[in-house]
Chains A and B, each alone.
Chain A
Amino acid sequence: MSQNKIDILERALAREKAARKQAEKILEDKSAELYRLTRELSAANSQLEHSIQEKDSQLKGIFGNIIDAYVVMDLEGFVLKMNDAAIQMLDYDFREEKINLFKLVHPDEIQKTKEAFRELYVNGFLKNFQLKILPRTQSAKIVQINASIVYDKNNIAIAAQGIVRDITNDIRAQEKLIASENRLSTLVLNLDSGVLLVDENKNIVLTNTKLCELFSITKEPKDMVGLAIAGFAEAHKNIFENPQAFVERIQQLVAHKQMVLGDELKMEDGSILERDYIPIYENKKYKGHLWSYRDVTLQRKYSRSIEAEKQKYSNIIANMNLGLLEVDNQDRIMMSNQSFLKMSGYAEEDLIGRIAKEVFLSKEHFENIENENSNRLIGKSNSYELLVKTKSGEQRSWLISGAPNYNLKGEVIGSIGIHLDISDFRNLEKQKELLLAKLEKSNIELEEYAHIVSHDLKSPLRSINALVSWLKEDNQGKFDAVSLENISLIEITLEKMEQLISDVLTYSSINAESFETKYVDLNSIVEGLRHVLFFPEHIEMKIVNPLPVIKGDTIRLQQLFQNVIGNAIQYIEKDKGLIEVSVKETPSYYEFSIKDNGIGIEKHHYEKIFKIFQSLNPSKVSSGIGLSIVKKIVNQYQGEVWLVSELGVGSTFFFTIKK
């Protein structure tokens, strides 16, 4: 072993000795302290025991008098003691039966109760524990329990005691309060008015969604509570049409602290807000104020448009050329417009309050107006005509359109009549009727006249014809050839004369009034002409395509075709004559054509031939009226007539008839 090693071991040994001495010293000190503490502790213990005993006897004194239910139970939950209040509350009496309190706990709350009991056991006490219990006969109760553990002298838990308070009603009331608070705050939150409540310290107490919406605030209403109101107006002034006025008005209102309702604010976007400022006082002390903002744009627009409508109708009523008269249920005049005064000749003060029928009607017309007025009472409107007398006594015809007048409750309070003076119109109508009657009469007379004239003209012709025949008969063999030829000329002239008279009669009797309208089959009309007209052997008539059935006058339509076709027959000089009748239909009219292979007509005569008494060729039978009659009939059917022709080849006559 080296010296070095020995030195090291010696130094270590010395250190150990020192340490042991130090430890022994500490141990000595500690046991002295322990002894002292033990002494102190036993003193305290005896003091504590004393005070417990003292408290116990004190409690025993209170026990009987306590108002709240008081229960002592063992650690298994069996009741050891309970006061009257407890008996009443739980509906059990420990003197009569053994009660385990755990059995009274509502089944839902057993777990919770176990935990609470453990807490009680561990901590020695339990404060404000709420529990639902089921008393014997009554409904469930919510109770609040304050409990503590009872220890014996050896500090061993032996029982638990507790005060039980029935807080069922308190809880209910609280729940109700919360619910109504919730409702209220929901109401405020969702109010259609923007609400801003500011306290006396200029902090926001309450606001709602609508306010945030109106002021375009992105924050939730609840996040605004507690914020300072300062700068609010300034920050939001630009949403108003006049920002400066908005700010100034707020300053003014806040300064005066007087309630102002219904301030109207125009906003930049055209909408209109109505604002109330309500200062809040408590015991005459200012506690803040409430702003409320309502969007009244719609109402304003509505009332403005109502106002405009009203204005419009008032203007119409004032300026219309119709008399307006308002009467009550007794026919008393309530109101009249300017036109009515003008019509009637009265001044307004002459009329107001007077009975309308007495002013305007003669007695025999009273019944009419009474009938009309009874119509109003049952809510009927209608128009009627009355003969009235104006202020000057003049009789006028008024057309009255009457309607019941209602009050706001919907009751008939009278009637309103619009009056139009139709006297002139009536007179004109009468005149017109007279004129029409006269016209009709003269038309009939004219036709009669035409017939009579034609009869009177034809009679001498027949007589001449008879006389000439008798001359011939009575002088047979006595006349020479020239005389016989002259007699024959007389007869031809008589025939022409008679045809002329017949045609003039026909022409003059074509007028709209004498037209009948029924369905006419033109095929049978044209076919019928084969018997009416004289067709020489060499002339053939063809209906190229089926003719329509049209509405018209049979006689006129027959005349029309008869004259055109008859005209064609007359001017065919060829060996084989052909007349073709055809039709073309358009949406609004029929176009008929009658084509012949006759001598043709020169172009410059196209117009002329339709004029009356214009016969191009002197003919033994043509009066020159036939085509004029055609034109007149076609015109009656709102059609046209024209022709296309080539000399020596033939002519085609066209005419249209409106459908």
Chain B
Amino acid sequence: MNRLLTVLLIEDDAIEIMKLKRTISSLKLRHTIIETNNGVDAREILKGKHELPDIILLDLNMPKLNGIEFLTILKENQDLQHIPTIILTTSNNSKDMLECYKIGIAGYVLKPLKYEDYVAKIERVLAYWSCNELIRNK
């Protein structure tokens, strides 16, 4: 039973956003993607009256508020800290990775070089989360 997910993608690179969107459409998935270019905007979205996303895909290297700073704020927020957050990044810096896991993440996915590999990874991540029970309308 595949659930349709609302995914908040926080990513500053336009091509990366295109990649995710193209991946979802080429896989014929019907998940909702909310995209935002940086942490500051993402905070605004989460504060708004919108429905909260089911999962967050978070890039680490971003201007303004970077990924780890955003993650820290998110996890300190009573209303938002339950949202599974998956890091989607190029950085395999072990320090960053440890830091993220300590703060609390639901996954750490390295962006592969090859687009096909990327598609495969995203497919599996979304498939995994769509068969999970998730907190809604909290």
Asked if A455 and B91 sit within 8 Å, CB to CB, the answer is yes
If the complex has contacts A458-B113, A491-B114, are A463 and B13 also in contact, measured as CB distance less than 8 A? yes
Q: Which listed residue (B22, B90, B93, B118) contacts A458, Cβ 8 A?
A: B90
Q: Is the interface of A mostly helix, strand, loop or mixed?
A: helix
| 8 additional contacts (CB under 8 A) given A459-B90, A462-B90 | A454-B91, A455-B89, A456-B61, A463-B15, A466-B19, A469-B114, A469-B116, A470-B115
Task: Give the contact-size bracket for chain B.
Answer: 20 to 34
Within 8 A of B (CB), among A437-477: 451-452, 454-456, 458-459, 461-463, 465-470
A555 touches B113 (CB 8 A): no
Which of A459, A470, A491, A555 lies in contact with B94, CB distance below 8 A? A555
Do A494 and B113 have beta carbons less than 8 Å apart?
Answer: yes
Option from A451, A466, A468 in Cβ contact (under 8 Å) with B118: A466
Tell me the bound Cα distance from A461 to B22 in angstroms.
18
A555 to B93, CA, bound (A): 12
Bound complex: CA of A452 vs CA of B63, how far in Å?
Answer: 12
Give the total of A residues in contact with B, Cβ under 8 Å.
21
Check if B93 sits within 8 Å of A459, measured CB to CB. Answer: no
- Interface flags, B1-23, vs A, CB<8A=1, else 0: 00000000000010110110010
Sample of 16 A–B contacts (CB below 8 Å): A451-B93, A452-B61, A454-B90, A454-B91, A455-B89, A455-B90, A459-B90, A462-B90, A462-B115, A463-B15, A463-B16, A466-B15, A467-B15, A469-B115, A470-B22, A491-B114
Q: Which residue of A lies closest to B14 (CB)?
A: A463
A455 to chain B, nearest CB (A): 5
Q: Is the CB of B61 within 8 A of A465?
A: no
Closest Cβ neighbor of A469 among chain B residues: B115
How many angstroms from the CA of A4 to the CA of B74 in the assembled complex?
A: 193
Q: Does A596 contact B (CB under 8 A)?
A: no
Within A399-453, the residues touching B (CB, 8 Å) are: 451-452
A450 to chain B: closest residue by CB: B93
Q: Which residue of B lies closest to A495 (CB)?
A: B113
Report B89-105 residues with CB < 8 Å from chain A CB: 89-91, 93-94, 96
Asked if B116 and A459 make an inter-chain contact with CB atoms under 8 angstroms apart, the answer reads: no
Task: Say if the beta carbon of A328 comes within 8 Å of chain B.
Answer: no
A498 at the interface (CB under 8 A from B): yes
Across the interface, which residues of B come within 8 angstroms of A455, CB to CB? 61, 89-91
Residues of the A chain whose Cβ atoms lie less than 8 Å from the Cβ of B118: 462, 466
Chain A residues, CB < 8 A from B93: 451
Nearest-neighbor residue (CB-CB) of A498 within chain B: B113
Q: Which of B6-45 contact A (CB under 8 A)?
A: 13, 15-16, 18-19, 22
The minimal Cβ–Cβ distance linking A45 to chain B, given in whole angstroms, is 154
